Amino acid sequence: MSCDFECLSCDAANYKLMEKARNEKIETVWDRAEAMQPQCGFGEMGLCCTNCAMGPCRIVKVSEDGPKKGICGADEDTIASRNLARSIAAGSSAHSDHGRDIAHALYHAAKNPESGYKVKNHKKLISLAKEWGIDTENQDIKDIAANVAKTALEEFGKPFGNLRFIQRAPEDRKKIWNKMNVTPRAIDRDIVEVLHSTHIGCDADYRNIMTTAIRAALSDGWGGSMIGTELSDILFGVPEPHEIEANLGVLKEDEVNLVIHGHEPTLSEAILIAVNDPELIELAKKQGAEGINLVGMCCTGNEIAMRHGIPMAGNFFQQELAIVTGAVDAMVVDVQCIMPALSQVAKCYHTKLITTSPKAKIPGAIHMQFNEEEAIESAKRIVKEAVMNFKNRQGNIFIPQEKSKGFVGYSNEAIINALDKVTNSTAHPSGTVKPLADAIKSGVLRGAVAIVGCNNHKVLHDKGHVELAKELIKNDVLVVTTGCGAYACIKAGLMSKEARGLCGKGLATVCELVNIPPVLHMGSCVDISRILLLLSELAKFMNVDIKDLPVAGAAPEWMSEKALSIGTYVVASGVYTMLGVAPQVTGSDNLTRFLTNDVKDIYGGYFDIESDPKEAAKKIISCIEEKRKILSI
């Protein structure tokens, strides 16, 4: 590494582990990013095509010389939009397949006692069953759960009609989607259609390619992700605020450390049951450990933190550093955001890297298939592997002391409950978004911004999230956060109630009255569907469309295809969205203009790009104030 650690991350826990990694000759994401420089300009601009074996083709933009069309004749607009559309489809497929797995788990909970899953939230189950027209009168709860699970699974491949959750959107939004022919139909169909239409010799019109891609993205936000969130709440419980600890300091020297990393709560919930099994705890003690310490990483960490108060060890860029501590006895992973490099790092320590999904095997890792049909037994076998590895620890252990406290688990239900406590229940009905609407209308809150997404070496690790959140709360803008952005915020103390001291007067007063932190943790990346629903309810209550609300989205450090899908469905739902890293589209002027300008006239939302968090905050606040002016509030 050619620069100091401070120019790579703003998390002090990382500096010590980066130094340990350097001394122990362990390569990390930052080393590989440096070795990759300069990155390919064609790829950076979205101008490389490998869609058929006549390629690869690349379009030369930087000089008059060089090809301006691919061998088939595809131009820069076609190539860049096809690449983007395929990435959006991949992102939508990842979230949606997650949703499908949760639906399968719900079905097992209803029909297969061997699975060990149990339906936790009957109220939410019955409410969703009624919404979907499923008979609940005198029905056994397990039959209702099975019918809800089957109906959810049918959303993926139904031959006719549109997705059921679309009905939750405001009327004006549905009209826009219908007019633009982007109303999602069946999740798998909408994703497949992107792949088909971007095959060689199909769609060459960048605007039409984006229409198909927008439909697939909406299938994620208002389909696969929403199914994932709603059914997870039914199966594992609706999140409630918990105070937890975060950062790598949550690892313990005297306990078996099991890091659960990935995305799907079907695995993490079963692992949580297994680590509390008295026989496995006893076994850990026999190996010389004081107990079993379960901690989370990336989105799966968000899932178990918000439902059970399990500590959040670190975000995407900290996964290798967790192993570098030498104190991780097993890192158990399922799908998405798991760096293949982990197996090389794990080899240098005693850590067992355990893959569990047939969708994500890694050479060098141990594969222990996790079966939902016998979830708890599968999980116990995996935990036993971690426990038995404790005695193999070597001498090179260093756990940084850095950890912070904060509150996580603000589901929509939890936010509304918190607000209800400070409203006049005799004058107003409880359980609505009225208090939130009132705070926004009065101007005490200027607006709200969702800060979401990943880590990316193109931006200083965590700085994009933290600096942007600080600027916004200082200006009375409430921040909600998910994914790896949530880790950055909790590590920086922004989810503690003391963070009120960093807020403007209006937001500080709201936080004081409602007893909430100014940055609210709303969960994992699929839980951005919670934010869609909150916006939808707020818009309906205020009798406007989502595009009229003084709100925005921001992904300061995004990197994944899932983030592209999220950004696209958020924009198509009417929300101005700020990106800290430019998408790989800038080689097409037309496509860039479409995404940052033309879509505004169609959907109300549009993309903006700004890597400096302070500048990004200025632009977001100006957008919020413009919306307030139009609403005359």
Binding site membership for [4Fe-4S] cluster: which residues? 40, 48-49, 52, 57, 72
Count CB-CB contacts under 10 A for residue 558.
Answer: 26
Among 354, 562, 571, 585, binds ligand SF4 (CB under 6 A): 562
Candidates 276, 107, 205, 243; CA nearest to 515 is 243
As measured in angstroms, the least distance from the Cβ of 302 to ligand SF4 is: 8
Which helix H or strand E contains 367, and what residues bound it?
strand 366-367
As measured in angstroms, the least distance from the Cβ of 296 to ligand SF4 is: 11
Among 12, 33, 52, 513, binds ligand SF4 (CB under 6 A): 52
531 vs 563, which CB is nearer to ligand SF4?
563
Site for ligand SF4 in 534-553 (CB under 6 A): none
As measured in angstroms, the least distance from the Cβ of 393 to ligand SF4 is: 28
Pattern of binders to ligand SF4 over 584-623, x per CB under 6 A? ----------------------------------------
Candidates 531, 521, 530; CA nearest to 309 is 521
Enumerate residues 6+ apart whose C-beta is below 8 A from 417.
none
Kindly indicate which of the ranges 51-59, 273-281, 346-354, 589-597 contains the residues binding ligand SF4, using the contact rule CB under 6 A.
Answer: 51-59
Among 200, 514, 631, 633, binds ligand SF4 (CB under 6 A): 200
Among 163, 454, 502, 564, binds ligand SF4 (CB under 6 A): 454
Enumerate residues 6+ apart whose C-beta is below 8 A from 329.
256, 257, 258, 350, 351, 352, 386, 387, 389, 390, 393
314 vs 604, which CB is nearer to ligand SF4?
314
Rounded CA gap, 110 and 98, in Å?
19
Q: Burial code of 263-288, b = ≥16 C-beta within 10 A, e = fewer?
A: bbbbbbbbbbebbebeebbebbeeee
Q: By the 8 A CB rule, do 621 and 548 touch?
A: no
The answer to whether residue 555 forms part of the interface with ligand SF4 (CB under 6 A) is no
Kindly indicate which of the ranges 8-16, 428-436, 463-471, 560-568 contains the residues binding ligand SF4, using the contact rule CB under 6 A.
Answer: 560-568
Site for ligand SF4 in 77-136 (CB under 6 A): 79
Rounded CA gap, 105 and 235, in Å?
8
As measured in angstroms, the least distance from the Cβ of 484 to ligand SF4 is: 3
Quick one: CA dihedral 229, 231, 233, 237, positive or negative? Answer: negative
The answer to whether residue 484 forms part of the interface with ligand SF4 (CB under 6 A) is yes
The answer to whether residue 72 forms part of the interface with ligand SF4 (CB under 6 A) is yes
Task: Quote the tokens at residue 270.
Answer: 């079963």
Q: Residues within the annotated binding site for [Ni-4Fe-4S] cluster?
A: 263, 299, 337, 454, 484, 525
As measured in angstroms, the least distance from the Cβ of 567 to ligand SF4 is: 12
Q: By the 8 A CB rule, do 477 and 449 touch?
A: yes
Rounded CA gap, 100 and 106, in Å?
10
Kindly indicate which of the ranges 45-53, 142-150, 206-214, 368-376 contains the residues binding ligand SF4, using the contact rule CB under 6 A.
Answer: 45-53
Kindly indicate which of the ranges 1-9, 67-75, 206-214, 595-603 contains the residues binding ligand SF4, using the contact rule CB under 6 A.
Answer: 67-75
Pattern of binders to ligand SF4 over 404-423, x per CB under 6 A? --------------------
The answer to whether residue 469 forms part of the interface with ligand SF4 (CB under 6 A) is no
Among 99, 435, 453, 613, binds ligand SF4 (CB under 6 A): 453
CB-count exposure of residue 247 (10 Å: 0-12, 13-18, 19+): buried
Please state the separation of Cα 124 from the chain's center in Å. 22
The answer to whether residue 33 forms part of the interface with ligand SF4 (CB under 6 A) is no
51 vs 211, which CB is nearer to ligand SF4?
51
Size of the site for ligand SF4 (CB under 6 A): 27
Q: Burial code of 291-330, b = ≥16 C-beta within 10 A, e = fewer?
A: ebbbbbbbbbbbbbbbbbebbbbbbbbbbbbbbbbbbbbb
Bond prior to 311 in cis (omega within 30° of 0): no
Rounded CA gap, 190 and 91, in Å?
12
3-state class (DSSP) for residue 496: coil
Rounded CA gap, 596 and 573, in Å?
15
Task: Quote the tokens at residue 76.
Answer: 């820069």
261 vs 393, which CB is nearer to ligand SF4?
261
Kindly indicate which of the ranges 252-260, 347-355, 510-518, 556-564 contains the residues binding ligand SF4, using the contact rule CB under 6 A.
Answer: 556-564
Angle at 142 (CA atoms; ends 140, 146), nearest 5 degrees: 120
The answer to whether residue 202 forms part of the interface with ligand SF4 (CB under 6 A) is no
Instruction: At 248, give phi and psi (nearest 5°).
Output: -65, -15
Residue 554 DSSP one-character state: E
Among 46, 70, 523, 550, binds ligand SF4 (CB under 6 A): 70
Candidates 20, 60, 63; CA nearest to 40 is 60
Q: Residues within the annotated binding site?
A: 40, 48-49, 52, 57, 72, 263, 299, 337, 454, 484, 525
147 vs 268, which CB is nearer to ligand SF4?
268
Among 236, 316, 390, 606, binds ligand SF4 (CB under 6 A): 316
- DSSP string covering 321-357, please? HHHHTS--SEEEE-SSS--TTHHHHHHTSSPEEEE--
Among 17, 129, 231, 298, binds ligand SF4 (CB under 6 A): 298
The answer to whether residue 55 forms part of the interface with ligand SF4 (CB under 6 A) is yes
Residue whose token pair is 């639906």: 103
Pattern of binders to ligand SF4 over 486-525, x per CB under 6 A? ---------------------------------------x
The answer to whether residue 50 forms part of the interface with ligand SF4 (CB under 6 A) is yes
Site for ligand SF4 in 219-248 (CB under 6 A): none
The answer to whether residue 195 forms part of the interface with ligand SF4 (CB under 6 A) is no
Name the residues that contact ligand SF4, by CB under 6 A: 49-52, 54-57, 70-72, 74, 79, 200, 298-299, 315-316, 337, 453-454, 483-484, 525, 560, 562-563
